[in-house]
Amino acid sequence: MLHCATFGAGCFWSVEALFAGQQGVVSTSVGYMGGHTDSVNYEQICTDTTGHAEVVDLKFDDHVISYQDLLQLFWANHDPTTPNRQGSDRGSQYRSVIFYHTEVQRHQALGIRQQLDRSRVYSAPIVTIIEAARGYHKAEQYHQKYLQKLKMSCL
């Protein structure tokens, strides 16, 4: 059965590439979620005034990869302890965020965040926001599969 998952962990290009390469992930798209405006584009996002995060929205087959597995990838591949920042990218659009689509997803995300905080895997507290998915805006076409396009153009 296909399910949706939405994650923000910095620049959406690398987050999309991470998840798109996983067996069981059927499709990915990059976009914006979590803001307070009805429509948004990349230029607006860059002003850090819309409240949106850069996210990857994906469809996955839970017979091949579980939501738990996707959460493990999410936590292991970015720094969830830096508010509004990933590497040199700064601003609320780069925040660490999980947008859940079901109560089961919310419960699983909260559970893993608590486990990681208790185990002190990270040197600082986790600041990842966990909130209901709402208002996804697909990013401009040139952002979709950007790193894949870049790699192909370098061959």
Nearest-angstrom CA–CA distance, 23 and 116? 25
Q: How many domains does the chain have?
A: 1
Instruction: Give yes or no for a contact between 121 and 80, defined as CB atoms under 8 angstroms apart.
Output: no
Position 154 scores a pLDDT of 55
- Joined together, the tokens standing for residue 138 give 């697909």
pTM of the model: 0.93
The letter for the amino acid at 140 is E
Q: Bridge partners of 85? A: 90
Task: Name the burial class of residue 139, with classes exposed (0-12), middle (13-18) and buried (19+) by CB atoms within 10 angstroms of its CB.
Answer: buried
Nearest-angstrom CA–CA distance, 112 and 132? 17
Q: Which residues are marked as active site?
A: 11
In sequence order, what are the residues at sequence separation of 6 or more whose Cβ sits closer than 8 angstroms to the Cβ of residue 151?
none
**Domain span holding position 110:** 2-153
Q: Write out residues in the chain with pLDDT < 50, as ranges.
A: none
In sequence order, what are the residues at sequence separation of 6 or more whose Cβ sits closer than 8 angstroms to the Cβ of residue 153?
none
Q: What is the CATH number of the domain that holds 34?
A: 3.30.1060.10
Tell me which H or E stretch contains 41: none
For the chain, how are helix, strand and coil distributed in percent, rounded to 5? 35, 25, 40
